[in-house]
Amino acid sequence: MATPGEHAAVHLVVMGVAGCGKSSLGEALARSLGVPLVEGDAFHPSENIEKMRAGVPLTDADRAGWLDALAQELALRREGAVLSCSALKLAYRDRLRAAVTGLRFVYLELGREAALQRVAQRGAAHIFPASLVDSQFAALQPPVGEPLVLALDALLPTADQVAAVDRWLASPG
């Protein structure tokens, strides 16, 4: 694990479909790197939360203001930050990249059945119901071949994921 400050001004987005473990890995990476965690769900406007709770998938238009708020938050975090955000489409990732030079993405890969199971286990109190998992996969454009992206198996233990990210950040180029 990295010591605080070892990776100066690292900006990372932990991305993937619902249930992949963005928040858990984001928290662990923020601790490891000594930077704040920006929980993407906390930036959704109430209209988006109401739609999701009602089982209505968000559109690109619904996500536009949310992505702008996240991009602004990343840009303000000059000391670095870890953002948990689905970042499902290339256009969403590019919107975030425009805010921070050298923005890195950790893509947590997870299959549909595992995502359904994990989201269903969260319970009714969570803003994202299992009925929306398929819409996540329909929107997903995996970041294969994009710069500064590390793909990880979402089913690996969090400690193994953190170690892999730490090695990736420490490697040259």
Residues of the chain with pLDDT under 50: 1-7
Inside any domain, residue 158: yes
Domain at 114, CATH number: 3.40.50.300
Number of domains in the chain: 1
Inside any domain, residue 4: no
Instruction: Give the integer Cα–Cα distance in Å for 134 and 137.
Output: 5
- In this predicted structure, what is the pLDDT of residue 97? 97
Domain contains 117: yes
Residue type (1 letter), 66: W
For 57, list phi and psi in degrees, rounded to 5.
Answer: -65, 145
In sequence order, what E strands does the chain have? 11-15, 37-39, 81-84, 104-109, 149-153
Q: What is the pTM of this model?
A: 0.91
Q: pLDDT at position 173, please?
A: 61
- Strands (E) in 1-148, as ranges, are 11-15, 37-39, 81-84, 104-109
E-strand ranges in 4-160 read: 11-15, 37-39, 81-84, 104-109, 149-153
- Residue 140 and residue 4 in contact, taking contact as beta carbons nearer than 8 Å: no
Residue 138 covered by a domain: yes
Owning domain of residue 34? 11-168
Residue 54 to residue 14: CA distance in whole angstroms: 25
pLDDT, position 120: 83
Q: Give the model's pLDDT for residue 77.
A: 96
Dist CA 62 CA 65 (whole Å): 7
